[in-house]
Amino acid sequence: MQHKYVEQKTEQTYAEQTYADRSHAERNYADRSYYEHGSSAERWERARMFFDAKEYTTAARILDGLVEEVPEQTGPRLLLARAYYHSAQLRRAETQLRTIVERDPVEHYARLMLGRTLERQGRDDEAAPHLRMAAVLAGDFPQD
């Protein structure tokens, strides 16, 4: 009985060692090919599935390639920014949101997210104009 356990342990260790021996480039390629697999529509659906499951880092990895492929589309870039925001990758979220706002200054949700992202980084003075603009674009006017 003990002998069988030792064999299983040895096989498991061998498999782990084999994975560890693979070069970083090989592991990176295998990981990347999973995230880049399928059509744009299939990757979009897979990214949304991971996002909805609160697997924000995985969603971001899928969306990153998709945004490179279709940089002009706002939807994937906005979801990428949201995934970065929820996984505390705030500088990356900020970069994506600024790109959206530069291309479409009246995209109120991107402005709101940008304001909140800046707030979360402790940059309240920078956040304020974006939050005010988002409120105005959403029709939330201050009551005087």
Q: What is the pLDDT of residues 94-138, one digit of tens each?
A: 999 999 999 999 999 999 999 999 999 999 999 999 999 999 998
Task: Say if CB 65 and CB 47 are below 8 A apart.
Answer: no
Contacts for 19 with CB less than 8 Å, ≥ 6 apart: 27
Q: How far is CA 27 from the centre of its chain?
A: 20
Q: Is the pTM of this model over 0.85?
A: no
Q: What is the pLDDT of residues 96-108, one digit of tens each?
A: 999 999 999 999 9
Looking at residue 121, what DSSP letter applies?
T
Q: What is the pLDDT of residues 20-75, one digit of tens each?
A: 555 545 544 445 566 777 889 999 999 999 999 999 999 999 999 999 999 999 99
